[in-house]
């Protein structure tokens, strides 16, 4: 982890946000979509709907006009209206901070909930996205039997000090996003290729 901390020191999301609610909206929109595209969209969206109360008072058709260029816009418009209304009605207008409460919100799974816990509330939560999943397997940080995001999360947090759990998500994420990419990893630029199963397999082939 010390190498990843050194080469990928950023420990915050590249998504634009100013409040826990804006972070939640941005993370929901980012599913199977680039952060760059989300950031382009949320500028106008947040100007019009900066709070759950404002968004809850709108409707799916209106939200859709702002997020049409995002992947799966119809589903995400439905999620944003649903989670905004639930936050207003069930959580007094405040984004909840526990994984049990967060995952009650429409469109919010464990990965999204962990992102919110870690960034918005400073909790030791580790979100496992495709990058974290890939890197942790390639570097043998988890066993092959850890074949779901949840299993990877449980394995990683066994071996990472609690004080570094939320940062570790970003170290793994950015390493996977910019160096240990899915199709054309930059193995020659990586200081971990001596322990990487992907590199070893490539040499054998």
Q: Which residues are catalytic?
A: 111, 129
Cα–Cα–Cα angle for 186, 3, 177, rounded to 5 degrees: 40
Any idea which residue has 């996003």 for tokens?
A: 177
Phi-psi region of 72 (alpha: psi -120 to 50; beta: other; left: phi over 0): left
Give the residue among 123, 196, 136 at the shortest CA–CA distance from 171: 136
Give the residue among 122, 135, 124, 113 at the shortest CA–CA distance from 164: 124
CA atoms within 13 A on the CB side of 6: 6
| CB-based contacts of 172, cutoff 8 Å, min separation 6 | 4, 131, 132, 135, 136
Tokens coding 151: 């299993």
């Amino acid at each position: 982890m010390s190498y990843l901390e050194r080469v990928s020191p950023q420990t915050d999301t590249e998504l634009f946000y100013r409040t826990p609610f804006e972070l939640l909206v941005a993370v929901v929109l980012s599913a199977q979509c680039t952060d760059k595209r989300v950031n382009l969209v949320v500028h106008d969206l947040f100007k019009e709907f900066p709070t759950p109360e404002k968004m809850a008072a709108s409707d799916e058709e209106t939200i859709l006009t702002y997020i049409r260029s995002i992947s799966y816009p119809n589903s995400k418009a439905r999620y944003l209206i649903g989670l905004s209304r639930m936050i207003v009605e069930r959580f007094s207008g405040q984004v909840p901070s526990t994984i049990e409460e967060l995952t009650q919100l429409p469109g919010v799974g464990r990965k999204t909930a962990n992102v919110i816990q870690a960034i918005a509330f400073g909790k030791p939560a580790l979100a496992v996205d495709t990058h974290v999943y890939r890197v942790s397997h390639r570097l043998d940080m988890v066993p092959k039997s850890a074949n779901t995001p949840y299993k990877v999360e449980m394995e990683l947090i066994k071996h990472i000090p609690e004080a570094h759990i939320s940062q570790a998500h970003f170290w793994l994420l950015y390493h996977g996003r910019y160096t240990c990419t899915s199709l054309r990893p930059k193995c020659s630029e990586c200081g971990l290729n001596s322990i990487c199963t992907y590199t070893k397999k490539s040499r054998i082939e």
